[in-house]
Amino acid sequence: MDLKQDNVKNLDACIKCSACTALCPVAAVNPLFPGPKSVGPDAERFRLEGIEMDIKCLNYCSNCKTCEVTCPSGVRITSMILGARERAKQSKHSDGKTLQHRFRDLVLGRAEYLGRLGTIWPSMTNTVLSISLMRVLMEQILGLSRHAPLPSYHTKFKPQGSFVQSDKQVVYFPGCFAKYNDAQTAQAVVKVLEHNGYQVIVPNFHCCGVPLQANGYFSRGRENAKKNLALMEPYLKAGLPVITSCTSCGLALKEEYPELAAAGAEYIGQQTYDLFEFLWELHERGELREDFQSVPVSLGYHAPCHLKTQGIGTPSVRLLRLIPGVQIQDLDAGCCGLSGSYGFKEEKYDIAMQIGKPLYQSVQQGVAEGRFQTMTTECGGCQVQIQHGSGVKTEHPVWYLIRAYDL
């Protein structure tokens, strides 16, 4: 089956039911976005006729992929939209961005360079970022919303896992957020894996490419992906699992990397695991260390959009429920609104906050009613945004394993 035939059948599957648009978090709040059905499968039939649509409409899609999860017909709506965005960018038409926004997207697309810069002297960076005058300037020069919860920078994650030597090995792909903004979480992931007897290998990966793509730099995104694949290839060939703790990186590795024409692409989808997906499999095989101490805590859980898209369920909820004392409930209250770097942009900040509102309210209500005290979610972006929107502390679920294992 070649790609073209596959695409034809995928578009044929759309029965125009509009469920995607009815449940699209962006369409619900943005009057300028006609919704995924309209810019996805509806417009696709016209694109095949050579009629492209206004790229501005395409740019409003936040790439959260809720539409793909929602679609009862399995239509790859977001992929259609991203594909159209890429073609529109290649064609002679303008991408509809101002010079300022183009520069801003160049910066946001490079979470990696930002990270490297930020982690050279993190306290300095954080101080600068926290000065409101600076944020006003950034908004005016860069188009980064002054209200947006830009993550703070910490000392760059340097894997310290070389102590454990084992014949059980995994590769860990920390992702930019853990690497530059949240090295402690990355370290926690390594500790949990080591506690289970794994040697954790962390090559010096590049950004997974998602931010580049989301900001319109498709070919550069693919270049990054190929570089990463090259770093992983020997391990993949040896059959090592690749573990991600960021759900967006995980999705890219599982969904997009296998489509690259590069060595290793044939293994990467099969061998990539979300951290908790991996741990759950250990549990099912009876190989997980379950020497848990009681952790008396009530948690609200938010499933990141890109975890939902992976189609593995919510293994962290399952796993944390194994820990004595942990109470956890899945809020299922929609997208947090940030979608990577979407919510950092001045023209999209308000949209992002509106998108996330039902979630923030659900979080606040849960806390007010005493159903839980803190939030947990895998995605770094979601953590920042939920905390910003609801004021409730939000952490990666790996921290409860750290406490349970007393590491």
Partner 1 sequence: MWDGIVIGGGLSGLIAGIRASEKGKRMLVISEGVGSLTYSSGVMDFGDVERLKEEKNHPYALMGETVVRAGMEYFQRLFPDYQGAWQNSQQVLTPLGSPREADLVPTGLNAGVLQKAKEIVLIAPEGMKDFFPEVIKAKLERVYSKAKIEIYPVAVEAFDIWRNSGKLITGMDYAKYWRSDQGAVNLKNILGKLTEEMACSSSGATSGEKQGEKSAIIFPGLAACFSNVLKGVLEEVPLPIVEMTAFPPSASGQFLYEALKQKFKALGGELLVGTGVKKVEFQGKRCHTVIVKSKGKDVTFSAQSFILATGGIFGGGIQVGPKDANESVMGLPLYVPAQWTNSEFLGEQPYAKMGVEVDPELRPLAAGNQEPLFDNVRIVGRLLAHWDPWLDHCGGGVSLASGWLAGEIL
Partner 2 sequence: MIDYEVVIVGGGATGVGILRDLSMRGITALLLEQGDLAHGTSSRFHGLLHSGARYAVKDPISASECIEENLILKKIAAPCISNTGGWFVQTVEDDSSFVEQWIKGCAQAQIPIHEVPLSEAYEKEPLLSKEIVRVFEVPDAAVDGFKLVWANAKSAKRYGGHYKTYHQVESFQFEDRRVTGVIARNLLNGEMLTISCKIVVNAAGAWASKIAAFAGVSLEVICDKGTLLAFNQRLFQRVINRLHTPGDGDIFVPHETITILGTTSEIVDSPRENSPLKEEARKLLAIGEEVLPELEKYRVIRAFAGVRPLHREDSDVPGAAEEGREVSRTFALLDHELRDGVRGIVSIVGGKFTTYRLMAEKVTDWVSDKLGNATPCRTAEECLSEVPNTVHEKARRLLPCAAAEKMIDRLGEDADSVLAEIERNPGKGKMLCECEMVSVAEVEKIASDQDTHHLADIRRKTRLGMGTCQGAFCTYRALPLLWKDKGKYDPIEKELTLFINQRWKGIHPVLWGQQLRETELTRAIYASILQLNDNRGE
Q: Looking only at residues 1 through 60 of this chain, which bind partner 2 when binding is defined by CB under 8 A?
A: 2, 4-5, 8-9, 11-17, 34, 37-38, 42-46, 48-49, 51-54, 57
DSSP H/E element including 368 = helix 349-368
293 binds, among partner 2, partner 1, none (CB under 5 to 8 A by kind): none
Q: How far is residue 405's CA from residue 8's CA, in Å, rounded to a whole number?
A: 50
Lay out the site mask for partner 1 across 33-52 (x = CB under 8 A, - = otherwise).
Answer: -x------------------
**Closest separation in Å from C-beta 37 to partner 2:** 7
Closer residue to partner 1 in complex, CB, 60/153: 60
Q: Would you say 19 and 26 are in contact if contact means Cβ atoms under 8 Å apart?
A: no
Q: Would you say 63 and 342 are in contact if contact means Cβ atoms under 8 Å apart?
A: yes
Q: Would you say 359 and 389 are in contact if contact means Cβ atoms under 8 Å apart?
A: yes
Closer residue to partner 1 in complex, CB, 290/406: 290
Q: Looking only at residues 62 through 121 of this chain, which bind partner 1 when binding is defined by CB under 8 A?
A: 68-74
Residue span binding partner 1 (CB under 8 A) among the ranges 90-98, 135-143, 287-295, 328-336:
328-336
Backbone Cα Rg of the chain = 21
Close Cβ partners of 178 (under 8 Å, ≥ 6 residues apart): 157, 185, 186, 189, 245, 246, 380
Closer residue to partner 2 in complex, CB, 12/259: 12
Q: Is 121 in the site for partner 2 (CB under 8 A)?
A: no
**Closest separation in Å from C-beta 390 to partner 1:** 15
Q: How far is residue 226's CA from residue 219's CA, in Å, rounded to a whole number?
A: 11
**Closest separation in Å from C-beta 10 to partner 2:** 11
DSSP H/E element including 301 = strand 297-301
Q: Would you say 170 and 240 are in contact if contact means Cβ atoms under 8 Å apart?
A: yes
Closest CA to 84 of 125, 41, 26: 41
14 binds, among partner 1, partner 2, none (CB under 5 to 8 A by kind): partner 2
Residue span binding partner 1 (CB under 8 A) among the ranges 142-150, 221-229, 250-258, 372-380:
250-258
The token pair at 316 is 């962290």
Closer residue to partner 1 in complex, CB, 18/152: 18
Q: Which residue has the tokens 């024409």?
A: 261
254 binds, among partner 2, partner 1, none (CB under 5 to 8 A by kind): partner 1
Q: Is 208 in the site for partner 2 (CB under 8 A)?
A: no
Q: Which residue has the tokens 């962390």?
A: 202
Query: What Cα–Cα distance (Å) separates residue 395 from each residue in 94, 223, 280, 380?
Result: 40, 31, 20, 8
Q: Looking only at residues 67 through 106 of this chain, which bind partner 2 when binding is defined by CB under 8 A?
A: 73
116 has which bridge partners?
A: none
Closest CA to 403 of 311, 297, 266: 297
Instruction: Figure out which of the listed residues 329, 393, 406, 407 binds partner 1, where binding follows CB under 8 A.
Output: 329
53 binds, among partner 1, partner 2, none (CB under 5 to 8 A by kind): partner 2
Q: How far is residue 173's CA from residue 189's CA, in Å, rounded to a whole number?
A: 10
Q: Is 28 in the site for partner 1 (CB under 8 A)?
A: yes
Amino acid letter, residue 190: V
Q: How far is residue 195's CA from residue 374's CA, in Å, rounded to a whole number?
A: 25
Q: Each residue of 195-220: b (16+ CB within 10 Å) or e? A: bbebbbbbeebebbbbbbbbbbbbeb
299 has which bridge partners?
A: 328, 374
49 binds, among partner 1, partner 2, none (CB under 5 to 8 A by kind): partner 2
Lay out the site mask for partner 1 across 307-326 (x = CB under 8 A, - = otherwise).
Answer: -xxxxxxx--xx--x-----
71 binds, among partner 1, partner 2, none (CB under 5 to 8 A by kind): partner 1
Q: Looking only at residues 252 through 281 of this chain, which bind partner 1 when binding is defined by CB under 8 A?
A: 253-255, 258, 268-272, 277
Size of the site for partner 2 (CB under 8 A): 28
Closer residue to partner 1 in complex, CB, 287/332: 332
Q: How far is residue 316's CA from residue 104's CA, in Å, rounded to a whole number?
A: 35
Closer residue to partner 2 in complex, CB, 53/262: 53
| Residues at the interface with partner 2 (CB under 8 A) | 2, 4-5, 8-9, 11-17, 34, 37-38, 42-46, 48-49, 51-54, 57, 73
| Residues at the interface with partner 1 (CB under 8 A) | 17-19, 21-23, 28, 31-32, 34, 68-74, 251, 253-255, 258, 268-272, 277, 284, 308-314, 317-318, 321, 329-330, 332, 357
